[in-house]
Amino acid sequence: MAQEPCPPGAETPTQHTSATPAPVELSDLATLKALAQPRRQRMLQHLTLHGPATSATLARALGLNTGSTSYHLRELARYGFVEETETGRAPDHGHGRERWWRAVPGDRRFPPRSRQSAEMRHVMDELNHHAYAADLELFEQFQRDAAETGPWADAFPYSRGTIRLTAPELGAFFEEYIALLNRYKRPEAETPADARTVLTRFLAFPAPLAEPEADPACNGKETEPS
């Protein structure tokens, strides 16, 4: 899934190596609309969690028809979110070549809200709404099934906290989080057999400002003594 943008004013970008993709900002409205389509988000999520698939396997897994998944895969490929792959492809026995698709990895970010048009903000709000709902559904599903997952039943690292930061400091905090994720990524050939795909999410936002208390002397009325 597309990663959230760093807050406006962030000034400490991560140093990118050949193994670490440079951030790509998704500022084109048509691209964002393509990504925000709920069925495409579900398909991207499935490809990310379960690996390459065909339009037929996606249709069965998600309860869609093959024509619909084929169309949405082509649209996702058009905007660079998925691509064809040889992985999982069966030999061609003269019955036509199956097209296998995989999610294209990358550090994709959205424009800061201050640079979004009204229409883009609406698209982003819809995209985030569906993405957060899908995340919550997966988390609740894992909670329900945790008893059957062996040692992974205790795999619920969770943290809620507050810190006082400036906007540039929050940007630096975000970049350090992305760098930490990249530090733990490794090629499939180097991944232990007992490793699992772990979903990580980062969400940080300013707390609402406290409203100043009203001054009784300013309301034009005198209070009666008790």
End-to-end CA distance of the chain: 60
- Categorize the per-residue pLDDT at 218 as very low, low, confident or very high, splitting at 50, 70 and 90: low
Give percent of the chain with pLDDT exceeding 90: 62
The torsion angles phi and psi of 85, rounded to 5 degrees, stand at -145, 155
User: In the structure, what pLDDT confidence band is assigned to residue 10 with cuts at 50, 70 and 90?
Assistant: very low
pLDDT computed for residue 11 by the predictor? 33
Averaged pLDDT, 29-55: 95
| pTM beyond 0.85, yes or no | no
Q: Which residues contact 25 (CB under 8 A, 6 or more apart)?
A: 5, 108, 109, 110, 111
Identity of the amino acid at 226: S
C-alpha closest to that of 113 among 2, 3, 1, 5? 5
pLDDT for 88: 59
How far apart, in whole angstroms, are the C-alpha atoms of residue 41 and residue 138? 14
Rg, C-alpha atoms of the chain: 23
Residue 130 pLDDT: 93
Residues 186, 189, 192, 194: is their CA dihedral positive or negative?
positive
pLDDT higher at 225 or 147 = 147
Give the pLDDT confidence of 160-176 residue by residue, as tens digits. 999 999 999 999 999 99
Is the model more confident about 5 or about 3?
3
**How far apart (Å, rounded) are the C-alpha atoms in residues 139 and 18?**
33
pLDDT above 50 (res 224): yes
For every residue of 106-148, DSSP letters joined together read --EE---GGG--HHHHHHHHHHHHHHHHHHHHHHHHHHHHGGG
Residue 86 has pLDDT above 60, yes or no: yes
Whole-angstrom Cα distance, residue 121 to residue 108? 17
pLDDT-based confidence at residue 191 (cuts at 50, 70, 90): very high
